């Protein structure tokens, strides 16, 4: 049998206050300082995520923590949606980055924190299935875009291969074709942005301009040799 730990003075006072008036009960956010520290260590040491990305994750989660506790709400899809709606000064793109941080934390906690898993295993992941508005300019741009046909793609790839001194362009073409990333995203990738995401070699795309926003993108087996070569040959 595990020995019980005595309550702290602060806990005694909190319990006494709640017994005197149930309205004094305050919901505690699951984003505790201890969990955020462990999450940061896991991202850094196990997944190889760069410090800048980790700091952004923690900052966003701390803001959610403060809002949830001030509103005295349980963590849920509805409370996360209310929180997103309160961020009136942020663009949909930035809100998607906040959701990505929440998803990363939730995924980690459900696998690595027994207390968290026991507490939240019966609720649906609160950071999934959120929808974001699309501005009119984005809608017009989407309507104008047409996908390449398979024949178009083959023709472009063959042209890359047959053009002298265009090996970099060929690599870029293949990475784009097998990742769905924009040319700007691919060109900004560095060695430290290729991480181990739960045993899957992935791109840590944190400067995204796409609808999917910031994300981890698994490296397709077809381009894995290219990525491994580029890691050895460049930064």
If asked whether residues 134 and 169 sit together in one domain, one would say no
Q: How many CB atoms lie within 10 A of CB 33?
A: 10
Q: Has residue 222 been placed in a domain?
A: yes
196, part of any domain = yes
CATH number of the domain that residue 215 is part of: 1.10.443.10
Whether 179 maps to a domain, the answer reads: yes
Query: Is the residue at 153 inside a domain?
Result: yes
Please check whether residue 124 lies inside any domain of the structure.
yes
The Cα 176–Cα 34 span in angstroms is 39
> 155 and 209, same structural domain?
yes
In whole angstroms, how far apart are CA 111 and each of 104, 121, 170?
11, 11, 39
Residue 188 resides in a domain: yes
Per-residue model confidence as pLDDT tens digits over 163-185: 877 788 889 899 988 888 888 88
Same-domain pairing of 52 and 120? yes
Q: How far apart are CA 62 and CA 68, in angstroms?
A: 10
Rounded alpha-carbon distances, angstroms, from residue 223 to 147, 158, 164, 167, 233? 22, 16, 21, 14, 15
Q: What is the pTM of this model?
A: 0.58
Q: Is 197 domain-assigned?
A: yes
Of the candidates 138, 162, 179, which is a domain's last residue? Answer: 138
Q: What distance in Å separates the CA atoms of residue 130 and residue 132, rounded to the nearest whole number?
A: 7
1, containing H or E segment: none
Same-domain status, 40 and 120: yes
Residue 214 has a pLDDT of 58
Q: Are residues 128 and 150 in the same domain?
A: no
Q: Which two tokens stand for residue 68?
A: 């949830």
Domain that holds residue 91: 28-138
Q: Which of 91, 121, 138 is the last residue of a domain?
A: 138
Q: Which residues pair with 202 in a beta bridge?
A: 195, 218
| Same domain, yes or no: 39 and 92 | yes
The answer on 159 and 74 residing in a single domain is: no
Residue 137: band (very low, low, confident or very high) from pLDDT cuts 50, 70, 90: low
Which string of b and e fits 91-113 if b means at least 16 CB within 10 Å?
eeeebbbbbbbbbbbbebbeeeb
The tokens describing 110, both together, are 């459900």
- Rounded CA-CA distance 185/15 in Å is 52
Q: Is the C-alpha dihedral spanning 102, 107, 108, 109 positive or negative?
A: positive
% of the chain exceeding 70 in pLDDT: 80
**Cα separation of the two ends of the chain:** 53
For 203, phi and psi rounded to 5 degrees? -90, 135
Lowest mean pLDDT among 38-42, 107-111, 212-216: 212-216
> What order do you get walking across the sheet with 194-197 strand by strand?
194-197, 200-205, 215-218
User: Do 53 and 101 sit in the same domain of this protein?
Assistant: yes
Task: Quote the number of domains for the chain.
Answer: 2
Contact of 37 with 44, CB cutoff 8 Å: no
Q: Among the three residues 105, 138, 171, which one is the final residue of a domain in this structure?
A: 138
What is the C-alpha to C-alpha distance for residues 6 and 106, in angstroms, rounded to an integer? 30
**Are residue 73 and residue 173 in the same domain, yes or no?**
no
Are 113 and 187 in a shared domain? no
pLDDT digits (tens, 9 = 90+) for 3-29: 444 544 444 454 444 344 445 446 788
One domain, residues 132 and 170: no
Tell whether 13 is covered by a domain: no
Nearest in space to 30 (alpha carbons), one of 77, 69, 88, 80: 69
Task: Give yes or no: residues 169 and 197 share one domain.
Answer: yes
What pLDDT, in 10s, does the model give residues 79-134? Answer: 999 999 998 888 888 898 899 999 999 999 999 999 999 999 898 899 998 988 76
Query: At 85, which CATH number?
Result: 1.10.150
């Amino acid at each position: 049998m595990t020995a019980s730990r005595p309550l702290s003075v602060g806990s005694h006072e909190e319990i006494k206050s709640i017994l005197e008036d149930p309205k004094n009960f305050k919901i505690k956010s699951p984003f505790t300082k201890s969990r955020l520290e462990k999450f940061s260590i896991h991202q850094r040491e196990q997944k190889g995520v760069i410090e800048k990305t980790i700091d952004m994750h923690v900052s966003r989660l701390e803001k959610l923590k403060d809002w949830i506790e001030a509103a005295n709400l349980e963590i849920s899809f509805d409370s996360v949606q209310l929180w997103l709606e309160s961020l009136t000064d942020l663009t949909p793109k930035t809100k998607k980055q906040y959701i990505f941080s929440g998803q990363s934390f939730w995924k980690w906690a459900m696998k690595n924190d027994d207390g968290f898993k026991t507490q939240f295993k019966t609720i649906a992941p609160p950071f999934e299935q959120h929808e974001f508005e699309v501005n009119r300019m984005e809608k017009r741009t989407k309507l104008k875009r047409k996908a390449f046909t398979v024949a178009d793609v083959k023709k472009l790839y063959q042209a890359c291969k047959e053009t002298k001194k265009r090996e970099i362009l060929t690599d870029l073409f293949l990475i784009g074709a097998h990742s769905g990333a924009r040319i700007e995203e691919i060109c900004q990738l560095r060695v430290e942005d290729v991480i181990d995401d739960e045993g899957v070699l992935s791109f840590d795309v944190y400067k995204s301009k796409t609808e999917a926003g910031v994300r981890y993108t698994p490296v397709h087996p077809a381009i894995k040799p290219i990525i491994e070569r580029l890691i050895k040959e460049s930064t």
